[in-house]
Structure 1
């Protein structure tokens, strides 16, 4: 059985959301959904997620999974909104507990906040096999960008790679967030690049150079031949040196502070305070 895949680009965060399914009228998975958020006003809206909802309705799909590749630092997840509207289980890798532990301390979250991943409906073990209707899928643990990053292999046909590899002319994900590790990322990418050359790789983000339109699809062969950071011949030491130097010059993502507070909760907002208003925190001089 072959998988069908539809991409949705959120231009504000350069994030791709995917719907994976086998046929119209059947089960599907939604991967890395986006809740729009304006940091200047503190307002959210669902226009990006509503595009996904419209597609699911047009193709008469039943949502089985709402997959997260990791707790994103560049956008808020729309998974709870999609679950309320369409159903499905919110799932992430089981190492999310490590990320929750770090950020519970950074944001001084409420004592009741649990660091066991229980906010999610399902936690994938490394290499766990699951199904999207009749499609066979496997959750691959690919740490480095964060300790909890996952990639999702579908039918030995394609991999949703999350924040590991970007398009060949863009390179690779950063590793300087808490818990990030360039050596782990190198090993994770080599694991992905060991798949057959024709394997399709769908990226989570694209930051195209001037003159190129955003793209989401590449292959193992293209990455091994031309990825500017990790093409064949680049060893671990060279990659770690490059990644460390490059990360030292990067600023924090615009939405890191609001996004992480929401995404470690499986996309749910913090509890409202006694005036009924939900607040997000800004820890000063900590990052």
Structure 2
């Protein structure tokens, strides 16, 4: 039977994002998953309050942060991975598919040859079947592309951090129309998650709850297989792909995609300051 890490979720209402601190209760070694850098778009102002809230959990539980983990290069929030790397010294990891995401968006942003597109901005690139030990609990990498080409799931004991591969059962699944997205791949990635033990805890990156419930970060494999409005255990690939492609055609771009992705493909590093000491983001016009 898989061992159970302790997991604490932190909800970021402006972006509907869950970040996590998860740890082995015996060794107190921990990982931080999908941390958020606060960003106020109208003033283009950043803040580290949400990252500090994660570190407050680390301090309160007397944890040692072993890894900072990204499930993918997010399009809806800026990552605080680099902030936490500076604070803790822990390495930052992401899926190997980040290279293709970097290549696509480097062209969109016009970053040129000075921006490497081989993932070197991250300390570790993970692939299917890679395995770490966090204290006494194994952490295994499952490649779960479809929403993006770099999407991975971290299976930490009986807890799986699935990124945007699945949303809450009443909301369904993530879009597949970003560069590198593929609805058929997403279907197969969800099947991989559905083959996990029914009691496996699935921790989501986002929740967009209806008015009659609060945000909820955790659902079991059994609940998702039975209740997900887009993909149950009985949904066919053909039906899912048709639904997902039709739905994606109706969706607008996430509000923060242009500022977020150019930071997130840098492992959360902000652009270097210009000669006047100010950092600038690039906003390509009429591109997405």
Shorter chain as normaliser: what TM range?
over 0.9
- Give how far 1:209 is off: 1.5
Give the counterpart of 1:18 among 17, 20, 23: 20
- Give how far 1:135 is off: 1.2
Partners of 1:24 and 1:187 in 2: CA distance: 35
| Unaligned segments of structure 1, at least 5 residues | none
1:126–1:25 Cα change, 3 Å: closer
- Give how far 1:83 is off: 1.3
SS of the residue corresponding to residue 153 of structure 2 reads strand
Q: Any residues of structure 2 matched to 1:230-249 within 5 Å, and which?
A: 230-249=231-250
SS of the residue corresponding to residue 263 of structure 2 reads helix
Partners of 2:213 and 2:29 in 1: CA distance: 34
Q: Any residues of structure 2 matched to 1:122-133 within 5 Å, and which?
A: 122-133=124-135
Aligned residues: 286
Name the residue aligned to 2:41: 39
- Give how far 1:111 is off: 2.3
Contact 1:24/1:59 (8 A) holds in 2: no
| Unaligned segments of structure 2, at least 5 residues | none
Partners of 2:283 and 2:230 in 1: CA distance: 33
Give the counterpart of 2:83 among 49, 61, 81: 81
Partners of 2:134 and 2:255 in 1: CA distance: 34
Give the counterpart of 1:58 among 60, 70, 84: 60
SS of the residue corresponding to residue 246 of structure 1 reads helix
Name the residue aligned to 2:203: 202
In the alignment, is residue 3 of structure 1 matched against residue 5 of structure 2? yes
Name the residue aligned to 1:135: 137
Partners of 2:286 and 2:4 in 1: CA distance: 49
Partners of 2:4 and 2:153 in 1: CA distance: 18
Name the residue aligned to 2:212: 211
Q: Give TM-score, length-normalised by structure 2.
A: 0.97
- Give how far 1:110 is off: 4.1
Name the residue aligned to 2:104: 102
Partners of 1:55 and 1:111 in 2: CA distance: 40
1:89–1:159 Cα change, 3 Å: same
Q: Give TM-score, length-normalised by structure 1.
A: 0.97
SS of the residue corresponding to residue 224 of structure 1 reads helix
| 1:93-150, Cα deviation, whole Å (9 max, x unpaired) | 1110000000010000142110010000111121201111211010111000000001
Partners of 1:193 and 1:3 in 2: CA distance: 20
Contact 1:166/1:203 (8 A) holds in 2: yes
- Give how far 1:25 is off: 6.4
Partners of 1:259 and 1:79 in 2: CA distance: 13
In the alignment, is residue 179 of structure 1 matched against residue 157 of structure 2? no
Partners of 2:26 and 2:73 in 1: CA distance: 30
| 1:164-223, Cα deviation, whole Å (9 max, x unpaired) | 111111100110111110000000001100111111111110011121111011011111
SS of the residue corresponding to residue 159 of structure 1 reads strand
Contact 2:27/2:136 (8 A) holds in 1: no
Name the residue aligned to 1:286: 287
Partners of 1:87 and 1:226 in 2: CA distance: 41
Name the residue aligned to 1:225: 226
Partners of 1:231 and 1:111 in 2: CA distance: 44
Partners of 2:49 and 2:27 in 1: CA distance: 24
